[in-house]
């Protein structure tokens, strides 16, 4: 049964990929709709498949296993995989609904057919990564995911920014693949097979090395600082539904990889846990601080993804630390928090990407300083974005709060038990976690305020129109998901078979609703219903202009100044004078530049180092036959020597 | 849900609604006295809220539903938060009511709406207020969470109800040194969270000082009444948190009419004393420049962290 459903889903996705490819020349909406509907149908099948496994807790099922000598291809779905399949499927349905309309408004003619097809292949690759039974299948699917996502990012390849983003993404994603491959090979050296299972014997240097390379591979793919730089480039460059899929789902697939290998392969180790926690904390704090500074709406969301992935990594790291300390109960709360937050982030981040895609579609700009007042022009989109903002700012009773609450609880209960040194460290991480979540509230007040509230700051923002039905339907489902997962958090966790002493958010939600009704009723009774429209008070000026409003820059300025050491602004001030005493001013030059710290100190030096190495190597490749023969000869000689040596 | 808890819901909400305006006017009165002024009557805040409730609402033509929803949501969130802090009577917690993190984030919810309402009308003052409020609330957050974690550590629970019960059981007065240190940190958090000197000046509407008041500039009539009332309730909640942790004596643990009456009278007295202290504290200080605040908060953070480390290692 499960096998049939899975094969059905895969077949639908493949046909959704092939159909537009075969009929690629015809520019028709029907082809694209059929292709996207195939993706949605596949997702429905996946939901039907995943829910019973998730709730029933039936043991892992080896669905397919094709042995082929040393290598084998296998599909198996256990509860963890089912959880991530559910995540992929739900987000896919909503994104596909939205994309069915959104893709029609893109430029590119019949190229859009390919976009639909590639989206299906991308989803299939993610499904396969999650359902892979062994490391070999995992790696193949991982590579497929890297390739398809690259094509999707490159959709608008004519634009200079896109091709730059594409190259950046290509290099980073291949680095990730390289590290994952290295980790898998190192694991193979220890276990002698590609099965995802625990390493026999005590942990050695090889174990640590394989963990480190897998960690780096997954960290690059999920955008952990300092490997994050591709996110804020790739997300603004790709079409909004693709950003939603990449940020909402693909990053979670990388999280799945880390969780899968941490749980099943490596035995709990304090150092591994601390490493994951440290990287998570740094990403969470720096991610949100960079998000605050960003004024490109989609780049801001990308940085906020980095923050949320950081929070998820904090949960996984905490799990590692606690299980190494022999506290499986609290450890499972931390892991639950990480997984729950993955799901929640998938929902609200794709919601935010889709709604901001609508706003960008309506205003033709990504700069939030050019927007404003859109709540009056796109009221429904505004409501959905608002729900997403509430969820991501971790406000009760929405889902973002539910998972962060779990993580807070894991932190609070762990500090009473672990050793003093770890305790101090956990306190520090806890404080930074609190800072992160408060800053993300500030960030989304700024985002919602500058995009939707106040007066329109450009003509295009003033002319914005509400988007068509389908572009509202996708976000509508996602926002319903955000509300339901928040209110029913405790009930759903209990339903899945976990007992967590978590506050009942449904009760809090009901109390909030009751209070609202009571206050409203009381006001109706005791105060007049009179209501008058007036001008905004502007110190006596009669009409308010958009130019006097508080801008997004202005809003984040206090935090910019407070965190200025982290932003590394470079202020250059050169003046030349006519005289020696510096009195008569001749000319001057002043600039304030935001330094891209990671790019200037990490990426560019690494890149230039590679360029130097490749330049050296390419000297041997001079097109002369003799050199090539010599190279081949030396290679064979070395191989003979090496193989003879080891035998 | 048992009967006792339902009674608690009513008693707590009624107490906080009745007591909140008193403390606000008391602080104003003390500040006026230290400045050599007569000051408003002690019941002035009640009159003011009653008067505002009878006035009509004026909304900006640029404002959206956010401006109209914000006062309601703000008040509702604060009133639900009020259920998390027992003022006079501590029942058995039901359904996680009393969780300190939920309490903190309900205050956040109220603040989120208030900050958006500040941006809604497109006024530069509102934006200024929202921006500063969100910045300040963000950088005080690490301190708040550390203090709450310390409280959870000392009382071995994340539940405010259990903390208060724990504080009563351990004898109440005189409190242990750790509790006094936590009390000092809570006092700093109270000053910041309720926008008082040296962080913000609740008396003025000058652009240079206003944070909280700036956001309310576009509110009027019953909406303004709700905003003012909710900020008074928030003050009372923070005061109650401090009082019932440090001097919990008299807090009723069982539901008896006499016990609750005594506890209510005691709470009003303790609250008035704390209000006087806050008034004197505010009068003895000047408002700090906005960008000097982070260093103040850093100090508060180190102070709270030190307490915890002492707690951890001793």
Average pLDDT score over residue span A466-480: 94
Task: Answer whether A187's CB lies under 8 Å from A135's CB.
Answer: yes
- SS3 of A335, please? helix
- Whether pLDDT at B207 is above 70: no
- Whether pLDDT at A128 is above 70: yes
Q: Measured between CB atoms, does A546 come within 8 Å of chain B? A: yes
How many other CB atoms are there within 10 angstroms of residue B8's CB atom? 24
Average pLDDT score over residue span A606-624: 84
Domain boundary assignment for chain B:
3-313
Taking CA atoms, what residue in A is nearest to B65?
A: A375
- Whether pLDDT at B200 is above 80: yes
> What is the DSSP-derived secondary structure letter of residue B290?
G
Structure confidence at residue A585 (pLDDT): 86
* Nearest alpha-carbon partner for A263 in A183, A216, A196: A196
Among B72, B105, B127, the residue with its CB nearest the CB of A395 is: B105
Q: Quick one: CA torsion of A581, A584, A589, A593, rounded to 10 degrees?
A: 60
Burial of A282 (0-12, 13-18, 19+ CB in 10 A): middle
Distance CA A625, CA A437 (A): 62
Which residues of A are less than 8 Å from B153 in CB distance?
Answer: 415-416
Q: Do A550 and B144 touch (CB under 8 A)?
A: no
Q: Measured between CB atoms, does A522 come within 8 Å of chain B? A: no
- SS3 of A235, please? helix
pTM: 0.93
Name the residue with tokens 């077949």: A11
Q: Do B138 and A442 touch (CB under 8 A)?
A: yes
User: Quick one: angle between helices A251-264 and A270-293, nearest 10?
Assistant: 170
Distance CA A320, CA A279 (A): 13
Q: Do B149 and A455 touch (CB under 8 A)?
A: no
Q: Do B120 and A559 touch (CB under 8 A)?
A: no
Q: Do A549 and B77 touch (CB under 8 A)?
A: no
- SS3 of B59, please? strand
Distance CA B64, CA B116 (A): 11
Distance CA A292, CA A307 (A): 11
- Whether pLDDT at A63 is above 70: no
Average pLDDT score over residue span B116-130: 88
- Whether pLDDT at A151 is above 70: yes
Name the residue with tokens 């035998």: A647
Average pLDDT score over residue span B248-256: 84
Q: What share of chain A is helix, strand, coil (3-state, %, to 5)?
A: 75, 5, 20
Length, in residues, of chain B: 314
Name residue A391's beta-bridge partners. Answer: none
Which residues of B are less than 8 Å from A527 in CB distance?
Answer: 53-55, 221-222, 225
Distance CA A114, CA A123 (A): 14
Average pLDDT score over residue span B25-38: 93
**pLDDT tens readout for residues A317-358:** 999 999 988 888 889 999 999 999 999 999 999 999 999 999
Average pLDDT score over residue span A96-102: 93
User: What is the band of A646 on the pLDDT scale with cuts at 50, 70, 90?
Assistant: low
- SS3 of A647, please? coil
CA distances from B204 to A458, B191, B212, B275 (A): 34, 16, 10, 19
Name residue A472's beta-bridge partners. Answer: none
Average pLDDT score over residue span A129-133: 91
Structure confidence at residue B155 (pLDDT): 84
- Whether pLDDT at A439 is above 90: yes
* A375, A378, A408, best to mutate vs chain B, most B CBs in 10 Å: A408
| Alpha-carbon Rg for chain B in angstroms | 19
Which residues of A are less than 8 Å from B151 in CB distance?
Answer: none
- SS3 of B38, please? coil
């Amino acid at each position: 049964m499960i096998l049939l459903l899975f094969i059905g889903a895969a077949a639908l996705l493949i046909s959704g990929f092939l159909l537009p490819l075969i009929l690629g020349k015809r520019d028709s909406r029907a082809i694209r709709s059929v292709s996207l509907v195939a993706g949605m149908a596949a997702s429905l099948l996946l939901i039907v498949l995943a829910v019973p496994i998730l709730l029933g807790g039936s043991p892992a099922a080896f669905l397919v296993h094709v042995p082929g000598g040393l290598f084998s291809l296998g599909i198996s779905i256990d509860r963890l995989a089912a959880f991530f399949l559910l995540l992929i499927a739900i987000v896919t349905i909503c994104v596909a609904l939205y994309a069915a309309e959104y893709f029609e408004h893109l430029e590119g003619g019949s190229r859009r057919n390919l976009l639909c097809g590639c989206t299906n292949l991308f989803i299939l690759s993610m499904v396969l990564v999650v359902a892979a039974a062994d490391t070999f299948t995992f790696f193949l699917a991982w590579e497929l995911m890297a390739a398809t996502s690259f094509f999707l990012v490159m959709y608008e390849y004519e634009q200079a920014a896109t091709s730059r983003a594409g190259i950046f993404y290509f290099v980073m994603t291949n680095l990730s693949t390289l590290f994952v491959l290295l980790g898998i090979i190192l694991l193979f050296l220890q276990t002698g097979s590609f099965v995802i299972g625990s390493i026999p014997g005590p942990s050695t240097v090889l174990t640590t090395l394989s963990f480190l390379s897998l960690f780096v591979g997954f960290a690059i793919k999920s955008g952990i600082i300092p490997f994050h730089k591709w996110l804020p480039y790739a997300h603004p460059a790709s079409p909004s539904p693709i950003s939603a899929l990449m940020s909402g789902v693909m990053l979670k697939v990388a999280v799945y990889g880390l969780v899968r290998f941490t749980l099943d392969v490596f035995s709990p180790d304090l150092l591994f846990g601390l490493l994951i926690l440290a990287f998570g904390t740094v990403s969470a704090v720096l991610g949100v601080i960079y998000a605050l500074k960003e004024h490109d709406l989609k780049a801001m969301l990308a940085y906020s993804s980095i923050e949320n992935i950081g929070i998820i990594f904090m949960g996984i790291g905490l799990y590692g630390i606690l299980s190494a300390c022999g506290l499986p109960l609290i450890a499972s709360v931390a892991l639950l928090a990480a997984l729950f937050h993955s799901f929640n982030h998938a929902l609200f981040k794709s919601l935010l990407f889709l709604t901001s895609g609508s706003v960008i579609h309506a205003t033709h700009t990504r700069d939030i300083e050019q927007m404003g007042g859109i709540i009056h022009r796109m009221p429904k989109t505004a409501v959905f974005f608002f729900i997403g903002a509430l969820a991501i700012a971790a406000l009760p009773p929405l889902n973002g709060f539910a998972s962060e609450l779990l993580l807070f609880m894991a932190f609070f209960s762990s500090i009473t038990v672990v050793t003093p040194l770890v305790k101090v460290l956990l306190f520090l991480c806890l404080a930074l976690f609190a800072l992160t979540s408060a800053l993300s509230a500030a960030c989304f007040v700024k985002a919602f305020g500058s995009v939707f509230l106040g007066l329109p700051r450009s003509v295009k923002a003033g002319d914005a129109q509400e988007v068509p039905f389908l572009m509202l339907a996708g976000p509508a489902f996602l926002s319903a998901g955000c509300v339901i997962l928040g209110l029913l958090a405790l009930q759903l966790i209990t339903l899945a078979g976990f007992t967590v002493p978590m506050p009942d958010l449904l009760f809090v939600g009901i109390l909030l609703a009751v209070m609202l009704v009571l206050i409203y009723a009381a006001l109706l009774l005791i105060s007049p219903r009179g209501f008058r429209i007036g001008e905004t008070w502007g110190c006596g000026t009669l009409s308010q202009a958009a130019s006097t409003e508080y801008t997004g820059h202005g809003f984040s300025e206090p935090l910019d100044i407070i965190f200025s050491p982290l932003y590394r602004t470079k202020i250059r001030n050169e003046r030349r004078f006519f005289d020696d005493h510096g009195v008569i001013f001749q000319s001057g030059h002043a600039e304030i530049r935001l330094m891209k710290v990671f790019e200037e100190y990490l990426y560019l030096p690494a890149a230039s180092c590679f360029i130097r190495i490749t330049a050296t190597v390419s000297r041997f490749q001079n097109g002369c036959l003799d050199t090539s023969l010599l190279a081949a000869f030396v290679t064979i000689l070395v191989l003979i020597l090496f193989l003879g040596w080891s035998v | 849900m048992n009967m006792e808890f339902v009674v608690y819901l009513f008693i707590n909400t009624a107490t906080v609604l009745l007591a909140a305006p008193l403390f606000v006017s008391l602080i104003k009165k003390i500040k006026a006295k230290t400045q050599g002024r007569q000051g408003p009557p002690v019941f002035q805040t009640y009159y003011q809220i009653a008067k505002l409730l009878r006035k009509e609402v004026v909304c900006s033509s640029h404002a959206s539903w956010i401006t109209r929803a914000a006062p309601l949501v703000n008040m509702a969130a604060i009133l639900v938060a009020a259920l998390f802090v027992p003022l006079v009577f501590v029942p058995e917690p039901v359904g996680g009511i009393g969780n300190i993190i939920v309490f903190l984030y309900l205050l956040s919810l109220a603040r989120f709406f208030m900050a958006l309402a500040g941006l809604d009308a497109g006024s530069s003052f509102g934006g200024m207020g929202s921006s500063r409020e969100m910045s300040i609330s963000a950088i005080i957050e690490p301190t708040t969470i550390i203090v709450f974690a310390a409280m959870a550590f000392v009382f071995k629970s994340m539940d405010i109800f259990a903390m208060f019960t724990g504080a009563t059981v351990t004898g109440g007065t005189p409190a242990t040194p750790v509790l006094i240190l936590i009390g000092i940190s809570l006092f700093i958090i109270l000053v910041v969270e309720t926008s008082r000197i040296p962080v913000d000046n609740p008396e003025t509407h000058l652009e240079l000082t206003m944070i909280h008041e700036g956001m309310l500039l576009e509110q009027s009539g019953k909406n303004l009444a709700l905003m003012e009332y909710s900020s008074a309730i928030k003050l009372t909640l923070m005061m109650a948190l401090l009082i019932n942790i440090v001097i919990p004596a008299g807090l009723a643990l069982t539901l008896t009419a006499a016990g609750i009456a005594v506890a209510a009278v005691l709470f009003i007295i303790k609250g008035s004393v704390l209000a006087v202290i806050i008034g004197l504290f505010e009068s003895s200080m000047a408002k700090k420049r906005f960008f000097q605040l982070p260093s103040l908060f850093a100090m508060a953070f180190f102070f709270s962290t030190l307490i915890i480390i002492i707690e951890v290692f001793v």
